[in-house]
Structure 1
Amino acid sequence: MNVISSALVAGLLLAGSAQAQHRHPQGERAQDRREIRETRRELRDDRHDVAELRAVLSRFDSAWARRDVREMSAVEDRLRELLRAEMRESRRELSSANAESHRSQRELRAEQWEARDDASWGRRHPRREVRDDRRDARDDRRDVRAEVASIRTRQAIARELMELDGRRNGGALHRKRDLIQELIELAEREIHQGRQELKEDQRELREDRRGGWRG
Structure 2
Amino acid sequence: MNRISSALLASLLLAGSAQAQQWGHSGERGQNRQEDRSNRRELRDDRRDVVELENVLSRFDRAWQQQDEHEMLSVENKLREVLRKELAESRIELEKDKREVRHSNREVRRDRNWGRRADDRRDRRDDVRDARVEAATLQTRMAIARELNWVMGNRNYSDLQRQRNLIVQLLQIAQQEVHQTKQEIREDRGERREDRREDRRESRHRW
The normalised TM-score by structure 2 is 0.83
Residue matched to 2:88: 88
Residue 194 of structure 2 corresponds to residue 192 of structure 1: no
| Structure 2 partner of 1:144 | 131
2:112 corresponds in structure 1 to 112
Query: Quick one: percent identity of the two aligned structures?
Result: 53
5+ residue gaps, structure 2, are: none
CA displacement, residues 6-61 of structure 1 (integer Å, 9 cap, x when unaligned): 97998988788768877943112101110111011111111110010000000000
Aligned residue for 1:169? 156
Decide whether aligned partners of structure 1 residues 192 and 55 sit closer, same or farther in structure 2, where only a CA change above 3 A counts. same
3-state SS in 2 of match to 1:167:
coil
- TM-score of the superposed pair, with normalisation by structure 1: 0.81
State the distance in 2 between where 1:55 and 1:169 align: 23
4+ residue runs over 4 A deviation: 6-23, 207-213
Q: Conserved in 2, the CA contact under 8 Å of 1:59 and 1:75?
A: yes
Number of residue pairs the alignment of both structures matches: 200
Q: 5 Å matches for 1:117-132?
A: 129-130=117-118, 132=119
Looking at structure 1, the residues matched to 106 and 76 of structure 2 have their Cα atoms a distance apart, in angstroms, of 45
The Cα RMSD (Å) is 2.7
Counterpart Cα distance in 2 of 1:205 and 1:16: 25
- For residues 97 and 205 of structure 1, what CA distance do their matches in structure 2 show? 20
* Letter paired with 1:178: N
Residue aligning to 1:77:
77
Structure number with the bigger relative contact order (C-alpha 8 A, sep ≥ 6) is 1
147-156 or 23-32, which deviates more? 23-32
Residue-by-residue CA offset, 1:112-164 (whole Å, 9 max, x unaligned)? 2211xxxxxxxxx6xxx21x322111011100111111111110000000011
Tell me the residue number matched to 2:167.
Answer: 180
Structure 1 residue runs of 5 or longer lacking an equivalent are 116-124
Counterpart of 1:44 in structure 2 is: 44
| Cα contact 1:33–1:205 (8 A) shared by 2 | no
Please state whether the residue corresponding to 2:56 is helix, strand or coil: helix
- Equivalent residue, structure 1, for 2:145: 158
